[in-house]
Structure 1
Amino acid sequence: MRLPTKGDSLIPRRTVPNLVVGLASVFLLGACGSSTGTDPASVAPAAPATSGPAPSASAASAPGDTGSSESGHPATTTSVMARSMKSIGIVVTDDKGLALYRYDKDQPTPSKWTCSGACTKTWIPVIVQDSVQTSGVEHSLLGTVHRNGMKQLTLAGWPLYRYIGDTEAGQVNGQGKDKEWYAVTPSGQKSAPTS
């Protein structure tokens, strides 16, 4: 074992502070890279905003879209599945088993959403990150539409929403509301009551 000599430093290298500074730099650069751009939907006033056609089946869109939903509810979804619901048949639900809805005033081609402002407090846009897993839903029918710097999931071009009145899996309390809101089927159609 070698003993330190007069010329050696007894103070250990300052690797921990350097590591902390390096990690802080990475986080700061990451935060700068995730800021939202000037997507037309994000700068539009309360008027309905539009977007181009739904992107690829991976439900991926332009990078840099982050944030929380307009209503303050973080409504990020990671999977969608087909599920049989009492009285209306098979509909699409999110990863928590909550029914997903489409709005007759929205448009599927190109995908356009019209529910904004106070509407999104009752009908919460289904927000996704990069990819969505599917079960019983044709993956090629999925896409996204830009919504204020985020990506709202679409099915057959229809933007998807959750209804605030559905508080647990299996409920479809939003079905037929105002004769414009309907639980969505795996093919993107609006569901109808079954006999």
Structure 2
Amino acid sequence: MRVSIVLAGAALLGTLAACGSTATSGSASAPEGSTPAPVGAVKIGQSSVGPILTDSEGRTLYAFADDKTGTSTCESDCLATWPALTGGKNFTAGAGADQKLLTATERTPGVEQAKYGVWPLYYYVGDQGPGDIDGQGVDNLWFVVGADGKLIKKTP
């Protein structure tokens, strides 16, 4: 009995630790197996749906249609699949991105999420590397963002 309680407690702690690290780790929340981009670097990259926002390493950035008010509504389990691009308040626009459209929104005290136009920015864990846009159109709510700050709803 005592062993099963200890094992159940260990399993619960492992689950909680995994959930906590995914939801709060900032730009290090980039897709697993990839190196995080420098905090706040956003540029325009080419894709099968045209020019889109990427991080400095070319990994695709997405917007969640439910965030249309400019505030992130992706929390908890959502962040496990769609990690936020977070960092300091001074995000930098790289090649093709408009610095006037690149701002930040506060996720939690002291943690800022990159925002382009009205859209908080996220990665998709299903993307395996630079140039992948496997999150495009997921649930008809997740879309890549164009250089003008508008959602691109084309299918690849």
Name the TM-score class by shorter chain: 0.7 to 0.9
2:45 to 83, 87, 92: 83
Do the aligned residues in 2 keep the contact of 1:174 with 1:182 (CA within 8 Å)? yes
The alignment's TM-score, normalised by the length of structure 2, stands at 0.73
Paired position in structure 1 for 2:91: 132
Paired position in structure 2 for 1:112: 71
Q: State the shift of 1:128 in Å.
A: 2.1
Do the aligned residues in 2 keep the contact of 1:101 with 1:163 (CA within 8 Å)? yes
1:155 to 116, 120, 124: 116
Letter in 1 for 2:51: I
Matches within 5 A, 1:38-117: 70=23, 72=25, 74-75=28-29, 77-86=39-48, 88-108=49-69, 111-117=70-76
Separation (CA, whole Å) in 2 of partners of 1:89 and 1:148? 33
Letter in 2 for 1:100: L
Separation (CA, whole Å) in 2 of partners of 1:194 and 1:145? 28
Separation (CA, whole Å) in 1 of partners of 2:134 and 2:97? 22
Q: State the shift of 1:192 in Å.
A: 3.1
The percentage of counterpart residues that share the same residue type is 28
Structure 1 or 2: larger helix share? 2
Does 1:144 pair with 2:104? yes
Does 1:172 pair with 2:154? no
Paired position in structure 1 for 2:153: 192
Paired position in structure 1 for 2:7: none
Aligned residues: CA RMSD: 2.0
SS of 1:125 mapped into structure 2: coil
Higher gyration radius (CA) = 1
Letter in 2 for 1:81: K
Do the aligned residues in 2 keep the contact of 1:69 with 1:125 (CA within 8 Å)? no
Q: State the shift of 1:132 in Å.
A: 2.5
The alignment's TM-score, normalised by the length of structure 1, stands at 0.59
SS of 1:120 mapped into structure 2: helix
Separation (CA, whole Å) in 2 of partners of 1:157 and 1:193? 19
Do the aligned residues in 2 keep the contact of 1:77 with 1:94 (CA within 8 Å)? no
SS of 1:119 mapped into structure 2: helix
Give unmatched runs, 5+ long, in structure 2: 1-20, 30-37
Separation (CA, whole Å) in 2 of partners of 1:183 and 1:160? 9
Do the aligned residues in 2 keep the contact of 1:92 with 1:100 (CA within 8 Å)? yes
Do the aligned residues in 2 keep the contact of 1:79 with 1:133 (CA within 8 Å)? yes
- Structure 1 runs (4+) deviating above 3 angstroms are none
Do the aligned residues in 1 keep the contact of 2:83 with 2:125 (CA within 8 Å)? yes
